[in-house]
Structure 1
Amino acid sequence: MPRQSDYAGPALFSYGFRPFFLAATLFGLGVVPIWLLVWRGVLMPSGPFAPVDWHVHEMIFGYGAAVVAGFLFTAVPNWTGRMPTRGWPLMALLAVWVAGRLAMTGLGGLGPVAVMGIDIVFLLAVAAMIAREIVAGKNWRNLKVLVPVSMLAVANASFHLEAMTQGSAPTSQRFGIAVLVFLIMLIGGRIVPSFTRNWLAQSGSTSRPVPFGRFDMLTLAVSVPALGLWVTAPLTVTAGVALAVCAALHLIRMLRWVGMLTLGSPLLTMLHAAYAFVPLGLFGAALAAFGMAGPAGGAHLLGIGAVGGMTLAVMMRATMGHTGRDLVSGRALNLGFLAITGAALVRVAGVSEVVPGLDGIHLSAALWTFGFLLIVRRLLPWLVGPRVATRKPSTVQQRA
C-alpha cells in the first residue's frame, strides 16, 4: 500500500477512483435515456457523429474510459508504493473528460477536427500520468498496462477519423469494444481467480481456482487475432471460426475458476457472472459471422454484459474496499447488477416484443437505467464522503 500523507482537499479528489467512478456511474445513468430519445427521434445530437456512432462512442470512450482511468489511478499506487494522484491533477483531468463529453454533443458548434482534438486528450493524459508514476516508482513490469490504454486512445482517434472520412465508424466501434474486452480478459483474468482464491481460503474451503498458467497465456494469445478479425472482417467464415475457438477457450478458462463456489459472496459472484459474457458475446459474434444471427447481438453481449457488468462489479468492490467498508454488496447493488446483466440479455432481442407492448430496446434501456439508479444511489455518498474507520480483520474474512 502507498504511504499516507495529509490531504486537506475534498474527499472526492483524494483518490483516483472517486471522481472517475462517480463520473462513470452518473454518465451511465443519464446517457442511455438520452440515447433512447435520440433513437426515437425526439432529440438529435448536433455533434460530428451520426446518432448510432455517438451512442457507441460515448459508451466506450465516455463511460468506459472513465472507469479505466479510475481503476488505473487506484491500482498504480499499490503497484509503485507512491502516493496516489490527488487534488488539482484529478480536477484538471476530470475537466478534460467533461470537455470531451460536451464537445461530442456539438455544444459550441465546433468542427469535427476540433472535437477530435478535445476528445482524444483525456486518454493521452491518462497514459502520460500513469507512465510517469510507474517510471518514478521504477515498477517496470507494469509498464505493459500502457499498451491497452494506448490502444484505447488509438481506437478513439480512429473512430473520429473513420467517421470524418466514411460518414460512419462501424470498424472503430468494434475496435473500441475489442480493446475494452481484452482489458477484461487481461485484468479480469488476474483479479477474478485471485479474489476467488482468497475468499475460498478465508471460508475454509479446500477448493481453489487454477492459477494463471500456460492455458491462460494460450487463451490470451488466441484472443488477439480473434478480436482483430472481428474488428476488420466480422462476417467472414475465418472470423467465425476464430471467435468460436476463442469463446470455447474463455469458457474453459472461466470454469477453471470454480465460480459456482462463490455464491456465498454475491460481490465475488458478480465478477464471475460478468466474465461469463465474454465467451457468450464471442459465441454471438461467431454466430453472426456464420450468418446465424444478427451482428448487433454479440456486440451488445460484449458491450453491455461483459464491459458493463465487469466495470460495475469492479467499481463496487474498489469503492467499498478503498473507503473502508465491508465487502458486502447488499440488496440494492445486487439488484442493480442483475438489472444490467438483464439489459444485455434482453437487448439481444432487438426490436422484437419481449413482453406485451415492450420491445427489447426499450426494456433494455429501462433495465440499464434502473440498475444505474440503484448503483448511483448507493455509491455516490461513499465516493464523495470521507473514508470510514478501518474494518476489523475478522469481519473482512467473514464477509469478503
Structure 2
Amino acid sequence: MTSHNEYSGPALFSCGFRPFFLAAIVFALVVVPVWWLIWRGDVSLAASFGPTDWHIHEMVFGYAAAVVAGFLFTAVPNWTGRLPTRGWPLAALLAAWIEGRLVTAGFLGVGPLGILLIDQIFLLAVAAMITREIVAGRNWRNLKVLVPVTLLWLANIFFHVEAMTQGTADYGRRLGIALLVFLVLLIGGRILPSFTRNWLAQHGMSRLPVAFNRYDVVSLIFGAVALAAWVVAPYHPVCALLGAVAAVVHLVRLARWRGIATWRSPLLAMLHLAYLMVPLGFAAVAAAALGIIAPAGSVHVLGVGAVGGMTVAVMIRATMGHTGRNLVAGPALTAAFALVIGATVARVAGQAGVVGAFDGVDLSTALWTIAFGIVVCRIGPWLARPKAARKMPSAPKARPGDARGG
C-alpha cells in the first residue's frame, strides 16, 4: 500500500527540475535553428511579435523561465522542509508553459491581447505556487525569492504591451535579459563559493573562497545600477561608465572565489566560466555605449554567455546531483558547455568580421544547436527516468609488488 509521502506517478513529474529542465533543453535545441531559418527568410511565423522580438522573448520568457521554474521548484522544498510539488500540478504547469510557447508563435490563432493573457499565466502560476509553499512552511526569510520571479512576470507583461503599442519591445528586450543576469549575480554568488569551498576543502587546499561580505553587497548594487542604466539608456556615456565599473567589480568578485583552482573539475570550472561572462558582458555594454561594438554584442554576451552558460552549467550539475549520478561532467557535457561559450564568441566575433568566411549568426547557431543536442542526449534520459543508485568510484587495482596487493 502506498504511503501518503510516496509518489507512484511518472518519474518526469516527481520533482520540479525534471519537466522544466527537459522542456528547456529540448526547446533550446529547436527554437534557435527555427530562429535561424526565420532570419534567413526561409520560414515565417504568424506571431504578433516581429522576428527579433519573438527570438528574444522566447529565449528569456520561454527557455530561461523554464530553467528558473525548475530550479525554484527543486530549491524551495529544501528551504521549507515540505514535500516537493509533483504529479498533476507540475503537469498542469508544464501545459501552461507549452501553451505559452504555442500562442506566442502564432499557432493558436488569437490576437495580441489574448497572447499576452495566455503567456503570462506560467510565471504567475510559478509565483503563486512558490508563495503557497513558503507560507505553508513558514519559511518567511525566503519570501524574497518571489521578488525576481514577480519582476520577471511583470517584465513579460511589459514586453507584450510595449510590442503592441510601440511595434517593438525595445526596453522589454533589455529588461528581461537584465533580470536574468541579476539572477545569475544572486544565485551565482550563493552557489559558486559554496561548491568551490567544498571541493577545495575535500582536496586539502587551504586557500578557500572569501565568504559573502560587504563587497558582495556592493557588487550586487553596482551590477543592478549598471543593468538599470543599460535598460533605460544603453547609448548614454553614463551607461558606459557604469558598465565599465561593474565589469571590474564583478571580475574582482569572481577572483575572490578561487575559480582558477578548479580546473581539474570541469563541472565546477564551467560555473566560474559562466560567471566570467557577466563582467565581460558589462564590458561589452560599455563598449556598445561608446560605439566600439554593435549593441547586439552586449546582448549576446549577457544573454548567450552569462545566462545561457550559467543555465546550462546549473542544469547539468543539478540533474546529476538529483538523479543519483556522480558529479563528473565527462567529455561530452564539458564539450557542450564549451560550445555554448563558443556560440557567444562566434556571435560577437562575427559582427566584428574576425571569423573569416563564416557568418557569425550561422556559426553561433550551429555551435548552440550542437551543444544542446549533446545536452538533450546526455541528461534528457536522466530527467525522464527514476533516480539511479549512485555508483561509488572503484578503488584502484593493486599492482604487483604494491604494498596494498602483497
The normalised TM-score by structure 1 is 0.96
Aligned to 1:202: 202
- Counterpart CA distance in 2 for 1:290 and 1:352 is 15
Aligned to 1:291: 291
- Counterpart CA distance in 2 for 1:218 and 1:226 is 12
Structure 1 residue 383 displacement after superposition: 0.3
Aligned to 1:147: 147
Aligned to 1:237: 237
- Counterpart CA distance in 1 for 2:339 and 2:226 is 29
Larger-Rg structure: 2
Structure 1 residue 392 displacement after superposition: 4.6
Contact map agreement 2:350 2:358 (CA 8 A) in 1: no
Distance 1:361 1:22, change over 3 A: same
Structure 1 residue 390 displacement after superposition: 4.2
Aligned to 1:163: 163
- Counterpart CA distance in 2 for 1:371 and 1:54 is 22
- Counterpart CA distance in 1 for 2:194 and 2:228 is 28
- Counterpart CA distance in 2 for 1:227 and 1:156 is 17
Contact map agreement 2:287 2:293 (CA 8 A) in 1: yes
Contact map agreement 1:18 1:384 (CA 8 A) in 2: yes
- Counterpart CA distance in 1 for 2:350 and 2:88 is 44
Contact map agreement 1:196 1:268 (CA 8 A) in 2: yes
Name the % identity: 60
Distance 1:394 1:219, change over 3 A: farther
Aligned to 2:86: 86
Aligned to 2:23: 23
Aligned residues: 393
Contact map agreement 1:254 1:276 (CA 8 A) in 2: yes
Aligned to 2:98: 98
- Give 3-state SS (helix, strand or coil) of 1:348's partner: helix
| 1:138 aligns to 2:145 (yes or no) | no
Aligned to 1:398: none
- Counterpart CA distance in 2 for 1:351 and 1:391 is 46
Q: Which amino acid aligns with 1:319?
A: T
| 1:35 aligns to 2:35 (yes or no) | yes
User: 1:205-235 CA distances to partner (integer Å, 9 max, x unpaired)?
Assistant: 1110111100000111122221111001110
Aligned to 1:269: 269
- Counterpart CA distance in 2 for 1:352 and 1:41 is 23
Aligned to 1:48: 48
- Counterpart CA distance in 1 for 2:228 and 2:350 is 25
- Counterpart CA distance in 2 for 1:350 and 1:156 is 30
Contact map agreement 1:19 1:383 (CA 8 A) in 2: yes
User: 1:153-185 CA distances to partner (integer Å, 9 max, x unpaired)?
Assistant: 111001000000000011100000000000000
User: 1:101-124 CA distances to partner (integer Å, 9 max, x unpaired)?
Assistant: 000111122100000001011000
Distance 1:258 1:369, change over 3 A: same
Q: Which amino acid aligns with 2:231?
A: V
Runs of 4+ displaced beyond 3 Å = 350-357, 390-395
Contact map agreement 1:33 1:365 (CA 8 A) in 2: yes
Distance 1:393 1:207, change over 3 A: farther
Contact map agreement 2:350 2:359 (CA 8 A) in 1: yes
- Give 3-state SS (helix, strand or coil) of 1:45's partner: coil
Aligned to 2:401: none
User: 1:265-306 CA distances to partner (integer Å, 9 max, x unpaired)?
Assistant: 100000000000000011001111122221111110000000
Structure 1 residue 4 displacement after superposition: 9.5
Structure 1 residue 5 displacement after superposition: 2.6
Q: How does 1:176-195 map to 2 (within 5 A)?
A: 176-195=176-195
- Counterpart CA distance in 1 for 2:329 and 2:43 is 36
Distance 1:279 1:394, change over 3 A: farther
Aligned to 2:223: 223
- Counterpart CA distance in 2 for 1:355 and 1:284 is 18
The normalised TM-score by structure 2 is 0.95
Q: CA RMSD in A?
A: 1.5
Contact map agreement 1:333 1:378 (CA 8 A) in 2: yes
Structure 1 residue 350 displacement after superposition: 3.6
| 1:342 aligns to 2:342 (yes or no) | yes
- Counterpart CA distance in 1 for 2:4 and 2:357 is 56
Aligned to 1:316: 316
Contact map agreement 1:352 1:359 (CA 8 A) in 2: no
Contact map agreement 2:181 2:278 (CA 8 A) in 1: yes
- Give 3-state SS (helix, strand or coil) of 1:358's partner: coil
User: 1:371-394 CA distances to partner (integer Å, 9 max, x unpaired)?
Assistant: 000010000110001101145599
